A and B are shown apart, each in its own frame.
Chain A
Amino acid sequence: MLIFSVFKTLTDQQVTVELKNDLSITGTLKSVDQFLNIRLDNIKVSDEARHPHMIAVKNCFIRGSVVRYVQLPADHVDTQLLEDATRRGDNSTKAIVLTLTIKNRNAETLKFHYG
């Protein structure tokens, strides 16, 4: 769920999805689901000569399992927060207990810790 959570914050950002068949697609991330299936808009294939059939395609839905990499916009990733989220996820039972009481009104304090 962590990675899913991260991708959610990257919607409407430009990403490059590299598939396991070496097809590289750059486009605007429109949506993502828990399987990390990805929907891209305004896509452009990096090596169009090798994949001429993709030229006409303007948007696509990529099955999560065929993805090798996704290049993310570094400016839109908060690495410290990411590490904290990973640490929380690592001992998830603890995290559940810990997070049960967080509510939206604590956004200010969260900002204090991470902002």
Chain B
Amino acid sequence: MDPSSSSIQEPFDLIRLSLSERVYIKLRGDREVTGVLHAYDGHMNLILSDVEETILIVDPDSATEAPVPVNVAKRKMDMLFVRGDGVILVSPPSRA
């Protein structure tokens, strides 16, 4: 029995591995969120705890080059529902 390959077939299986683990989520609107994943559904609606959100405030004037994040705003939330339509990616916890 090779546990690593046997049961992961779909993307959601991978997300399931991260259940109850800290995940990194990239969202629309230059937002990132990390938190402990407690629930997800087929729409990628998520419920996370111990959330830290990072908003990259991009300077619109520097349009000539690649937009550089001018400012970074962070905030923390205990328990957060994230609506799935804003989710760009869900990343499993990084290997420590």
**B-contacting residues of A (Cβ < 8 Å)?**
1-3, 6-7, 20, 36, 64-65, 67-74, 77, 79, 82-83, 85-87, 89-90
Q: Is A87 within 8 A of B16, CB to CB?
A: yes
Q: Is B79 within 8 A of A67, CB to CB?
A: no
Q: Is B86 within 8 A of A68, CB to CB?
A: yes
Q: What is the CA–CA distance of A72 and B78 in the complex, to the nearest angstrom?
A: 8
The number of A-B residue pairs with CB atoms under 8 Å apart is: 74
Task: Output the nearest chain A residue to B27 by Cβ-Cβ distance.
Answer: A68
User: Counting CB contacts under 8 A, is B90 at the interface?
Assistant: no
| Chain A interface helix/strand/loop/mixed | helix
Contact residue among A6, A65, A69 (Cβ-Cβ distance under 8 Å from B39): A6
Cβ distance A96 to chain B, nearest Cβ, rounded Å: 15
Q: Is A69 within 8 A of B82, CB to CB?
A: yes
Q: Is A85 within 8 A of B39, CB to CB?
A: yes
Q: Is B38 within 8 A of A70, CB to CB?
A: no
**Given A68-B86, A72-B47, A77-B38: A83 and B81 interface contact (C-beta under 8 Å):** no
Q: What is the CA–CA distance of A105 and B38 in the complex, to the nearest angstrom?
A: 27
